Amino acid sequence: MDQLTSDSMLSIALAASIFIIFKFMPRILAWGIPFHSPDVIKGRMDNGDNVLVIDVRTGAEFTGKLGHVPGSINLDVATLAGKINELGEKLAPHKDAPVVVTCRTHNRSPRAAKILKSAGFNDVSILNGGLTAWNKAGHPTERQV
């Protein structure tokens, strides 16, 4: 019985560890890059901060039912590195300005934020909860259908 209890405890601990790792994986991937709530980002925008919001979802998601943050640009994470090189001069003025990366929840954003940091963007953060949280907070969105 003791062996069964010990094996069961080990299984529970392993399952809990895996759950915790997957739950916090976006934060682990984005080590050193802050996550900000929708209210904080909206407040910065309302205060006139020149915030560039980069939405890293696919084009279909960007124009889909969740909509997107007004004024945001869509650069799919799958092609982000190439787009940064392609848009070099257009993005250059934003390298020292606040840049917020978003996706549907916040699972793709950390990878994109790391790409932006590597490309020389200095003030990068992640919209915590992505467009799902933005909508839940009741903030405005644009939709292109």
76 and 102 both lie in a single domain: yes
Cβ atoms 104, 125 nearer than 8 A: no
Q: What is the mean pLDDT of the segment spanning 46-64?
A: 95
Q: Is there a domain that residue 16 lies in? A: yes
pTM as predicted: 0.79
- Residue 1 confidence (pLDDT): 47
- Residue 10 in this model has a pLDDT that exceeds 90: no
- Residue 16 confidence (pLDDT): 62
pLDDT band at 99 (very low <50, low <70, confident <90, very high): very high
- Structural domain for 8, as ranges: 1-31
CATH code for the domain of 92: 3.40.250.10
- Residue 71 in this model has a pLDDT that exceeds 70: yes
Mean pLDDT taken over the chain: 86
- Residue 75 confidence (pLDDT): 94
58 and 89 both lie in a single domain: yes
Residue closest to 53 by CA, chosen among 38, 32, 33 = 38
Q: Is there a domain that residue 93 lies in? A: yes
From 53, 84, 100, 103, the catalytic residue:
103
- Residue 24 in this model has a pLDDT that exceeds 70: no
**Positive/negative CA dihedral, 140, 79, 101, 137:** positive
103 and 119 both lie in a single domain: yes
- Residue 83 in this model has a pLDDT that exceeds 60: yes
Q: Identify whether 62 is a catalytic site residue.
A: no
Dist CA 115 CA 97 (whole Å):
16
* Structural domains counted in the chain: 2
Q: Is there a domain that residue 13 lies in? A: yes
- Residue 29 confidence (pLDDT): 58
